[in-house]
Structure formats: C-alpha cells, structure tokens
Structure 1
Amino acid sequence: MQTEWINALLGGVLIGISVSLMLYWNGRVTGISGIINGVLSPLKGDSQWRVLFIAGLVLGGLVMRQMNSDFFENTLQTPMWTVGVAGLLVGFGTIMGSGCTSGHGVCGISRLSPRSLIATVVFMVAGTLAVVLFRKLGILL
C-alpha cells in the first residue's frame, strides 16, 4: 500500500497547525526567510525567538535523523557545490520576492494576501518549468 499521500497530508496538517499556533501565540508569521533575515539584521530585542526557532528546526531534523537513519534518504546525485549555488539563488530570490515559499505559500495565502497568491503561482510555474527543462536536457536530475 502506498502511504506517500498520507505522509504528505500529515505533513501539511502539521505545518498548518504549527503556523497557526505561531500566529496565535506569538502574533508572528512563520516565513523562514523573514525569520533568518531578522537574525542577520536584528532589531533590538527581536532576535532571541528567531535564533531559537531556527535552532528548533535544525535540532528537530537531527533528532529525527537519530531516531531513524532512513528518515532523510539521500537521493541527490549532484555535486555539493551546485547545492550551494542553488541555495544562494534561492536566498536572492526570497529577497527579490519579499519572502519564501513558506511565507507566501503557507502564511500569505491563508491571510488572503494578493501578493502571496501571485508569488506562489510564480513559484509553482517556475519550479514546474525547471523540472521539465532539466529532465528534457538531462541536467542534474
């Protein structure tokens, strides 16, 4: 029996719950690029929760890896330098797009933000085109 759709559904529900709780308890949107940006250019007294949030993301992944070594299956067959370049491009994209996929796609759309709706459509179209193009050319994938 395939359980991939169940895992995706449960993951989506958990993300939705965590984003809702962050907004309810802290009055803050869970946009990862905004949280990281706040650590890199902190306002007075505003960086502690951001550092703890990022640490929680990293530690949560490490704990899951310890509990089940197959949890993060390594399927990348590309050099790490390309992953680094991709990360930098994503970073520049989040600056240009005023947010990342979690900020726009999860938080912005749920708040009925027109800018977030447009950004999410652009993310999806660009991602789909990239996958189609790379598969057609046989690059990276």
Structure 2
Amino acid sequence: MVDQEPSPSSKQKEALDQCDHLIKNFAARADRNKLSYKRLQFISIALSISTTILSALSASKKLDQLDWTVPALSGLATLATTFLSQTNSQKMWVHSRSVAQRLQVEKFLYLQESGEYESLSNEDQRLKLFSKRVMNIWSEAQESWSQNVSSAK
C-alpha cells in the first residue's frame, strides 16, 4: 500500500486547526496569568489595608492579646507583594494576549489572501508561508516565555 500525500485542502485544514489550537492555548495562558495577577494584587491590597487598620487598633490598645496579628499580617502583605513582583504574571498575561492576537491577525490575512499572501500565485505557496509564519510566532513566543521564566528566578 502506498501512502498518499495529504491533499492541499487537508493540509490547509491541519494548518488552520493548529493555528486555532495555538490561539486558544495562548488565550488560556493569558487568562490564567491575568487571574493570578489580579488575585495577588487584591490579596496584597487587602493585607496592606488590614495591617494599617490593625496597627491603629493596636496603638489604641483595643487589640489587647491580639497584638501578634499586626506583624503576622504585615509579613503576609510583604510576601504577597513580593509574589506579585516576582511571578511576572502581569508581563506574561500581556505577552500571551499579544501572541494570541498576532496569531489571529496572521490567520485573518491568510484567509483574506492579503498582506504578504496577496502576492503569492497559488494556494500551496500561501499555505507554506502561513505555516512558516505561524511557527515563527510560536517559536518567538516560546523563546520569550523561557527568558521570562529564567529572569524570574
């Protein structure tokens, strides 16, 4: 039995499916990092406000035996703020969203046969360029991600 080469339409479907998968993947990454950033931001603010309020109550001697809560909450506020700055979640959120948008633009240009795709004479050439550009966007994103992860350490 001889293996047949995939038809151009099945290659196109494969390329578009892979692009859709990458768009969803980077959008999900963006959502996870956004949620992480927002949670850490909220926790940092809430702990800082709580520390301030409890400090005032402690100074007015209204806490009595609960004086230990001020340094404990202060430490937790510091920890949350440190996590916020060290996790790069805001940077990764913006980066992932940007990659998803770049992939969406590339898909749109390909489907509309505009931009760099406009000057190509046949579908096979357009598909090869599309696949190459999608993989370049993905490779750049992965490289940037690894640099961000190693810089966070």
| TM-score range normalised by the length of the shorter chain | under 0.3
Instruction: Say which structure is richer in helix.
Output: 2
Length-normalised TM-score, structure 2: 0.25
